[in-house]
Structure 1
Amino acid sequence: MQKSFIFIVLILSTCSGILQAQNTFSVSVNEVKNGKIKVEPAIPDDGKVPKGTVLTLTAEPDNNYAIDAVYYSVNGMWGDMYLECMASPFEVVIDQDKKLGASFIEKEEVDHLEVTQNIVYAKPGVKELKYDVFAPKGARNLPCIIIIHGGGWIWNTEDIMRGMARELTKSGKYVVFSIDYRWAGNRDGDKVGNTMADIIGDVFGAIAHIMEHAADYGGDPTRIAVTGDSAGGHLSAVAGTMPNKIGDGGFGETEGVFEFMPSYIPENKTVDQLRTEMMAAIKAAAPSYGVFGSDLLNHYSEDPKANDSWKEAIAPLSNIPNAEERKIPHYLTRGTKDGLITDEAVKRYVDALVEAGQRVQYVQVGGAGHAFFDWKPDDNTKATFKKYGIYYINEMETFFNSVFYPKN
């Protein structure tokens, strides 16, 4: 009897430990440089924080520094995966193991800017869709550059492109908008999975909202360039080559009809008006290490009718306009050590653009891997950005200047 009692106690103790493990998570704070971070309530000495706890992170920069981001990271498919906010305080809900931190940047890197964060342009599902604006102080009637982030269509937010946005505004010639969109499948928590057509509709919806409000930030809605990297490289190529596919005819609902419905349309516009205006406004594209051909794309649709034609309908390679109908000059970049995007795949897109009479420049970045235009709080990403990103962003701006500020 005594042995049975001890055995039951051991089982209950073990189960109690499992339940405790399930209801607490490990939380730690990364080393902070050039500033301080305060976490409230304080993290216990053992680092175990009850599930559902809301922690408030407050960042304070040192002299001559500014807040780059307050953040948390989780372990994901690409190592530490960040969710960031460029303002303090920042609230974090503990629902898994998380690392907390703050990143700071030299004030001179951001003193030229007016930054407006988290402008909501649509909410077609669980997640609010947002963009950030980076406007040079005193901006007035400047061309707009719209950045679309990467992350395999299933991760990251607009925050990861803030380094590029800051660089593109230093000359004072552009207002930059960095946009977010729905993640593919059920990654946002939507009951019905998001398709690539939904994501593309978000991109066009964001552009529509930006065109409606660009003047509020000193931008000219009739002069727009699009850029983005990786998944954003694909989406920016779509935005550049395929605004003619905007419409309310549905995507694959009728055989042979593939149209993208923007997730936002201004109240005073019809979808036809929006399509016409966007086709005229988008004047240049600079997709970086993106996917352009249908062979590497996923339509993410569960419709039993979905076939290869659905992939062709989301592939820029298959939808390039003839330059006589609409010019859309391109600037393409790829790192020579990119393990995801091949030189051959980019060249296929280059050749197709040339065949259509489009102007195109393809630059290979010697020694660079994938995602060198990204910006994150970790030192390695920042170093990569400084080594490769800054120079080639300036080269990209030279391309944009040739479109928007041509020499006489």
Structure 2
Amino acid sequence: MAANTKAINVQESFKVTLVSPENGSYTVSPEIPEDGMVSSGTELTIQADPSDGFSLDAIYYTYKGGMWGTTSVENFTNTMKITVDKDMSIGATFVDDDLVGNLNVMHDVVYAKPGVKSLKYDVYSPKGAENLPLAIIVHGGGWSSNNEDIMRGLARELAKGNHYVVVSIDYRWVNQLDGDEEPNSMHQLIEDVFGAIAHIQEHAAQYGADPSKIAITGDSAGGHLSASAAILSPMIGDDGFGRANNVYEFMPSYIPKGKTVAEVKKEITDAIKLVAPSYGPFSASDFKQFMPEQAGQDYFDAVSPAAHVPNVANRAIPHFIVRGTQDPLISNEVVQPYVEDLKENGQTVEYIQVEGAGHAFFDWKPDAQTRATFNKYGVPYAEEMKSFFDSVLY
């Protein structure tokens, strides 16, 4: 009797689509055939060339898959090599020289590696910066996707005018989405944000920044994490998070050498002067699905900025909050109770509902729709945010 055999189908070629660029051009070597079909394993070299008055934003390729339906892989130098192993679109984006011409940009500064993924941040320093306040950005993505690159549009806007050194940070994703054997919990993401801040403060002079003056912002999940950094920093400590009854203390994922946890707690708490959490939730009741199943109310409260709003007499934390009126994920009913609680405690709060805007309008991705949304809503409300920062820090 003959043995059963199964034919293994190996796809020999994939469709490569070239996206027409604006404000620059790019070449692909070897050339893409007219039908777009490229042999599997082919290495393509992409070379980007900005037009006069423009600079490279990114060379990228995009493919179907990931949490949001498509995923883009980006490169920030003028040459990128791509191995064809799936259907993909290739392109390059360019930005006005005025946005980046006066910036020193430092990508992928690693601040900690508590798991599989190296945690990193990007620095946008105005040339000649000296003792400028820090504006720190925490990206969104459902606590489970994206990295600091998605906030580079906002970073460039906040750095305009040379008033701020801007740092965009990454952190672990919840559960096992980073490939960690042990699932990551919400409090560990908050600990990463504290770790990033401690590392940034340690190296602030190198970036031309004043470590004692920090404005922190973030959008969506990053809205929650930025508010957590501002509100929950007095809970930094080394007694563990829920290890003992009623003890919930955050251990930053990075502690500078020679510093005690208590010193880091004081430095971070004293330095954060204001927060701008955009279209994010503030109470764990609005994001329980991202938490461990066994987490109880004490855990929920410990990771909820809404449960720890200080009275202004004890600690002033001015808030600048925006959400879009057409946001399907974060409703006014999610944000308004937090706003009211801030006001009842005497805190300064500016809450703007952006007419017609949806969710994630501070994001920057290479696709034309995301960039157009950012230009329509992100640019003007980044300017509003920066004015609020100025009112506190200048």
TM-score interval, normalised by the smaller of the two chains: over 0.9
Q: Counterpart amino acid of 2:383?
A: N
The worse-fitting range, judged by mean Cα deviation, of 226-235 and 79-88 is 79-88
Matched, 1:232 2:222: yes
Q: Sort the Cα spacing of 1:308 and 1:393 in 2 relative to 1 into closer, same or farther, 3 A.
A: same
CA contact (8 A) 1:317 1:349 kept: yes
TM-score normalised per structure 2: 0.92
Q: Which runs of 5+ in 2 are unaligned?
A: none
CA contact (8 A) 2:136 2:169 kept: yes
Q: Sort the Cα spacing of 1:276 and 1:71 in 2 relative to 1 into closer, same or farther, 3 A.
A: same
Matched, 1:379 2:379: no
Matched, 1:397 2:386: yes
Q: Sort the Cα spacing of 1:262 and 1:31 in 2 relative to 1 into closer, same or farther, 3 A.
A: same
CA contact (8 A) 1:335 1:364 kept: yes
Matched, 1:123 2:101: no
User: Equivalent residue of 1:279, what SS?
Assistant: helix
Query: Once the two structures are superposed, what CA deviation does each residue of 1:86-108 show, in whole Å capped at 9, x if it has no partner?
Result: 22334556665443322111222
Alignment of 1:83-162 (within 5 A): 83-92=73-82, 97-162=87-152
CA distance in structure 2 between the partners assigned to 1:56 and 1:268 by the alignment: 46
Q: Which runs of 5+ in 1 are unaligned?
A: none
CA distance in structure 2 between the partners assigned to 1:87 and 1:273 by the alignment: 39
Q: Counterpart amino acid of 2:78?
A: S
Once the two structures are aligned, what percentage of the paired residues are identical? 51
Matched, 1:337 2:326: yes
Matched, 1:272 2:262: yes
Deviation at 1:266, TM superposition (A): 0.3
User: Equivalent residue of 1:277, what SS?
Assistant: helix
User: Equivalent residue of 2:40, what SS?
Assistant: strand
CA distance in structure 2 between the partners assigned to 1:342 and 1:102 by the alignment: 35
Q: Which residue of 2 aligns with 1:216?
A: 206
Q: Give the aligned CA root-mean-square deviation in angstroms.
A: 2.4
CA contact (8 A) 2:13 2:38 kept: no
Q: Which residue of 1 aligns with 2:352?
A: 363
Q: 2:167 aligns with which of 154, 174, 177?
A: 177
CA distance in structure 1 between the partners assigned to 2:118 and 2:353 by the alignment: 36
CA distance in structure 2 between the partners assigned to 1:386 and 1:152 by the alignment: 23
CA distance in structure 2 between the partners assigned to 1:251 and 1:197 by the alignment: 8
Deviation at 1:381, TM superposition (A): 1.2
Q: Counterpart amino acid of 2:54?
A: Y
Q: Sort the Cα spacing of 1:57 and 1:279 in 2 relative to 1 into closer, same or farther, 3 A.
A: same
Q: 2:62 aligns with which of 65, 73, 78?
A: 73
The worse-fitting range, judged by mean Cα deviation, of 89-98 and 79-88 is 89-98
Q: 1:207 aligns with which of 193, 197, 201?
A: 197
CA distance in structure 1 between the partners assigned to 2:101 and 2:355 by the alignment: 32
Deviation at 1:326, TM superposition (A): 1.1
Deviation at 1:54, TM superposition (A): 6.1
Higher-Rg member (1/2): 1
CA distance in structure 2 between the partners assigned to 1:55 and 1:105 by the alignment: 24
Q: Sort the Cα spacing of 1:111 and 1:245 in 2 relative to 1 into closer, same or farther, 3 A.
A: same
TM-score normalised per structure 1: 0.89
CA contact (8 A) 2:14 2:37 kept: no
CA distance in structure 1 between the partners assigned to 2:276 and 2:316 by the alignment: 14
Deviation at 1:363, TM superposition (A): 0.7
User: Equivalent residue of 2:243, what SS?
Assistant: coil
Query: Once the two structures are superposed, what CA deviation does each residue of 1:167-194 show, in whole Å capped at 9, x if it has no partner?
Result: 1111111110011111111111112121
Q: Sort the Cα spacing of 1:239 and 1:29 in 2 relative to 1 into closer, same or farther, 3 A.
A: same
Q: Counterpart amino acid of 1:87?
A: T
Q: Which residue of 1 aligns with 2:341?
A: 352
Q: Counterpart amino acid of 1:385?
A: F
CA contact (8 A) 1:143 1:224 kept: yes
CA distance in structure 2 between the partners assigned to 1:150 and 1:82 by the alignment: 16
CA contact (8 A) 1:28 1:47 kept: no
The worse-fitting range, judged by mean Cα deviation, of 77-86 and 271-280 is 77-86
Q: Counterpart amino acid of 1:132?
A: D
CA distance in structure 1 between the partners assigned to 2:319 and 2:181 by the alignment: 37
Q: Sort the Cα spacing of 1:41 and 1:130 in 2 relative to 1 into closer, same or farther, 3 A.
A: farther
CA contact (8 A) 1:297 1:315 kept: no
CA distance in structure 1 between the partners assigned to 2:365 and 2:184 by the alignment: 26
Q: 2:38 aligns with which of 43, 47, 60?
A: 47
Deviation at 1:132, TM superposition (A): 0.7
Q: Which residue of 2 aligns with 1:16?
A: 8
Matched, 1:318 2:310: no
Q: Sort the Cα spacing of 1:83 and 1:114 in 2 relative to 1 into closer, same or farther, 3 A.
A: same
Q: Sort the Cα spacing of 1:257 and 1:32 in 2 relative to 1 into closer, same or farther, 3 A.
A: same
